[in-house]
Amino acid sequence: MAMVRKDGNKIRIVRVITRLNIGGPAIHTILLTEGINKEIFETHLVAGMPDASEGDLSGLARRQNISVDFIPELGREISFKDITAFVKLLKILLKVRPDIIHTHTAKAGTLGRLAAILAGVPVRIHTFHGHIFDGYFSPVKTKFFLAIEKFLGVFTDRVVVVSEKVRSEIVDKLKVVPGKKCIVLKLGFDLKDFLDNDRFKGALKKKLGIAPDVMLIGIVGRLVPIKNHTMFLAVAGKVIAGMPDERVKFLIIGDGELRQSLAAAAARMGLADKVIFTGWIRDTAKIYADLDIVVLTSLNEGTPVSLIEAMASAKPVVATDVGGVADIVKDGGNGLLFGADDIEGFARGVSILIKDRQKRSELGAAGREFVRNTFHKDRLIKEMEDLYMDCLRRKNKIKYAGGR
């Protein structure tokens, strides 16, 4: 029997994310907002504005008929605008009077939970899609942000993490919250276009003017320091030097603050004709249809969406063994893993796959089977609804619809 609020109204949720830029957290929040049971829950999505170079997923929200309350002052950098963003968040909470606030990403998690404390929101939940305590900031800033998270953890009912590795870091290593407050809910996606994207094969090469017989090795993501595209360029240089006769090109798909400096670095390394910067490409299923190998060179990750999409597309992946990557990439089973400083090994792994079509096929098939069974959106939505109900039940805020 369904559970409802004691006054019979729908359970109100305010979901807050720092910005709807292209990436896993934004896709996750849009999917949850669209897919949650609307007969029981009423969701209000609040977001800041992405930078121009990050790519904007607000169009995806509109296509899903999701209304978003935008707070332009809610940005990723710390500034005096945060005060304005906090006040606007507080006003939204006082107007909506939600039963639950669920925050995603660091800035939204800080301002959203502080506002929820003042507004008296009964249930406060925060999702770590990764974390910012490794590879993002100086040691002093990292300690400061960690202290804030520990303080907020006291007032947070449940902390959601997207992988067992992230849970281990948040609970055991960093001690942000005790284990009883932390729950692992793996990401979920609508993967149908990636599971059946052979129909798109050839479209990307045609768009970019690349011959059909050229192999493509691609990296997908924001062009920011944490993604470590300098390693990607170094790997490309070594692969090309080791097999100069191979018809191969390297695609950097995405945009961001480092685009100009990375393009300049590629030119200095003599890779200008081998490395292509595509910018953001909206239809990602078409990207993976034409990539032969997908790589990730990040210094830190939660659960990388680009690898999940690549694996769903039956593409072999090569990645750095950081953050939650090992929770989805099993070295030698459905992909290859290397240390974040192992350029030689990484380049060797890519070169082996370029030469070995059978190995590419085996890793791709194993990856597709794994993500098909692990990252389905219906599983995520059901688990999240159960979490919301459990938190409300503990606060005595709901009852059985039949009055029991």
Each residue of 52-92: pLDDT tens digit? Answer: 667 788 888 888 889 999 999 998 777 889 999 999 999 99
Q: What is the pLDDT of residue 137?
A: 63
- For residue 260, what are its two tokens? 């100009």
**Residue at 289: amino acid letter:** A
What CATH number does domain 3-188+377-400 carry, 3.30.920.30, 3.30.70.270, 3.40.50.300, 3.40.50.2000? 3.40.50.2000
Distance of CA 323 to the CA centre of its chain: 12
- Give the pLDDT of residue 263: 97
pLDDT of residue 190: 87
Q: What is the pLDDT of residues 10-36, one digit of tens each?
A: 999 999 999 898 777 888 899 999 999
Degrees to nearest 5, angle at CA 196 with 62 and 364: 115
pLDDT at position 404 is 41
Q: Does this model's pTM top 0.85?
A: no
- Tens digit of each residue's pLDDT (9 = 90 or more) over 216-269: 999 999 999 999 999 999 999 999 999 988 899 999 999 999 999 999 999 999
Q: What Cα–Cα distance (Å) separates residue 73 from each residue in 19, 82, 368, 371?
A: 10, 6, 40, 36
- Residue-level pLDDT at 309: 95
pLDDT over 60 at 400, yes or no: no
Q: What is the mean pLDDT of residues 319-326?
A: 92
Q: What is the DSSP letter of 169?
A: I
Q: Which of 296, 295, 292, 262 is nearest to 279 (CA)?
A: 262
Tokens 């998690």, located at residue: 109
Q: Give the model's confidence band at 401: pLDDT under 50 very low, under 70 low, under 90 confident, else very high.
A: low
The CATH code of the domain at 192-374 is: 3.40.50.2000
pLDDT of residue 21: 82
Position 403 pLDDT exceeds 50 = no
DSSP assignment string, 217-235: EEEES--SGGG-HHHHHHH
Least confident segment among 48-52, 155-159, 342-346: 48-52
Question: Where are the CATH 3.40.50.2000 domain residues in the chain?
Answer: 3-188+377-400, 192-374
- Evaluate if residue 395 carries a pLDDT over 70: yes
Residue 55 exposed, middle or buried by CB count within 10 Å (0-12, 13-18, 19+): buried
Q: Which residues 6+ apart lie within 8 Å of 267 measured at CB?
A: none
